[in-house]
Structure 1
Amino acid sequence: MKEVADTPRRPGRPAQISREQIVEAVATFDNIDTITMRQLAERLEVRHGALYRWVKSRDELFDLISEVVVDRVLSAVELDSSGWRAQLRQLALLIREHFLALPGYASHLSRPHVHNTHSVDRLRRACIDVFIKGGISHQHAEQSWLIFITSMISWLAVEEQPVTIGHVTPRFDLFLGVLLRGLPTQDSDVAA
């Protein structure tokens, strides 16, 4: 078994696993909600106690996952002057790619739980900046963020657990088009 010698909590020898490796190991499971810390340690080929140097509980594991996922999304997005809808489309596609890469992650996020406020806030600020650059006031940008992220996570949870209604399979492209057309382009687009 590998041994984890360095963690964010203790200096020492260079780490043999990283946050990225932990998240990659999580991605190999069928469902994030069914993972035990012991199973994750085995998958990483580290001692159970060594994993606890990184994360001491499932809540901390989900915090670590959220940090890594948000890092991946924000490092890949190119926020420029191409227009707020194009930027949100790019952000939505990256969120979808990275959230669905971890089976059960979107479903977990869609249920009430304590969110990693640091990671969520970084993603929130990026979206709000896009809305504000598009001419929306800060107050309406906050509301648009809530609509955007709530809709995205709910949709991705449906994609993870596909439910066919009649013979219709949910299509992300149609969902995203409707979502982006429905968000206000300026304060005057917001109904009182």
Structure 2
Amino acid sequence: MSAASVPGSAAWWRGHEERLARRRPHTDGLTLEVVLTEALALVDAEGMDALTVRALATRLGTGSSTLYRHVASRDELLVLLVDAVLGEVRLPDPELPGRERVEQLSTELRRVLRSHPHVVPALSGSPILGPNAMRASACGLDNLLAAGHPPERARAAYLALLDYVLGSVAFDAAAESPGATHDRRPRSDDVFAFGLTTFLDGLERG
């Protein structure tokens, strides 16, 4: 299998952008944006396992063959869905101090992922290379550099912060799931903010 045929690879994303540029509107009015919106609604309501091409086609009131005009496979659909979720992240004002931008982006990423917790496991696999993911990653690194951290330290800190956010969201999702014990409560925003502040304070002390 060539790299260009592997959904989510850099080569695949380049080909995807080229295909979008050449694509003509379909007469049925179905667009990739509509497909992804309904796919996310399905995942939010029923979990990632419920997302199949057939189930999504039924939800859209169309056939699987029509849906395949927009996405070639479930794997491709997942790649596009993850990047669409990351597109909901609002980036901080670049004029703010670096540390404040780090805090805002971390908190905003947690907010978005808490809204779509079933998507979180899909973020922990292979590198996420979609345009929205790259935009958020570049912002995260720029924020840490602006906060005064050298490049290697900024890269390591960014990955650690990403793990912290994903872990927090995963913990909350488990705590809120049916059958969770009462002593396993979701972490409050204040607890998350405390952990973030403690991490950044330690990073500044070196």
Of 155, 158, 173, which residue of structure 2 is paired with 1:160? Answer: 173
Conserved 8 A contact 1:8-1:54 = no
Which residue matches 1:178? Answer: 195
- The answer to which structure has the higher helix fraction is 2
Which residue matches 2:163? Answer: 150
Conserved 8 A contact 2:103-2:196 = no
Distance in 1 (CA, whole Å) between partners of 2:129 and 2:116 is 20
Q: CA deviation at 1:80?
A: 2.9
Sort the Cα spacing of 1:172 and 1:107 in 2 relative to 1 into closer, same or farther, 3 A.
farther
| Residues 24-63 of structure 1: CA deviation (Å, up to 9, x unaligned) | 2123221023311111122122321222222222221121
Of 116, 124, 134, which residue of structure 1 is paired with 2:128? Answer: 116
| Residues 124-172 of structure 1: CA deviation (Å, up to 9, x unaligned) | 2110000001111111110111101111112212222226566241224
Which residue matches 1:169? Answer: 185
Deviating more after overlay: 135-144 vs 38-47: 38-47
Note if 1:101 corresponds to 2:101: no
Question: Which structure 2 segments of 5+ residues have no match?
Answer: 1-18
Conserved 8 A contact 1:27-1:101 = no
Which residue matches 1:64? Answer: 80
Sort the Cα spacing of 1:46 and 1:140 in 2 relative to 1 into closer, same or farther, 3 A.
same
Report SS of the residue matched to 2:149. Answer: coil
Q: Which amino acid aligns with 2:192?
A: F
Sort the Cα spacing of 1:147 and 1:165 in 2 relative to 1 into closer, same or farther, 3 A.
farther
Q: CA deviation at 1:104?
A: 0.8
Of 134, 139, 142, which residue of structure 1 is paired with 2:147? Answer: 134
Q: Which amino acid aligns with 1:152?
A: V
Compute the RMSD of aligned alpha carbons. 2.7
Deviating more after overlay: 146-155 vs 27-36: 27-36
Deviating more after overlay: 37-46 vs 171-180: 171-180
Conserved 8 A contact 2:82-2:122 = no
Report SS of the residue matched to 2:92. Answer: coil
Deviating more after overlay: 61-70 vs 17-26: 17-26
Report SS of the residue matched to 1:28. Answer: helix
Q: CA deviation at 1:9?
A: 7.5
Distance in 1 (CA, whole Å) between partners of 2:96 and 2:193 is 17
Q: Which amino acid aligns with 2:111?
A: E
Number of aligned residue pairs: 179
Which residue matches 2:67? Answer: 51
Which residue matches 1:3? Answer: none
Q: CA deviation at 1:69?
A: 2.0
Distance in 1 (CA, whole Å) between partners of 2:34 and 2:205 is 45
Note if 1:77 corresponds to 2:94: no
Report SS of the residue matched to 2:93. Answer: coil
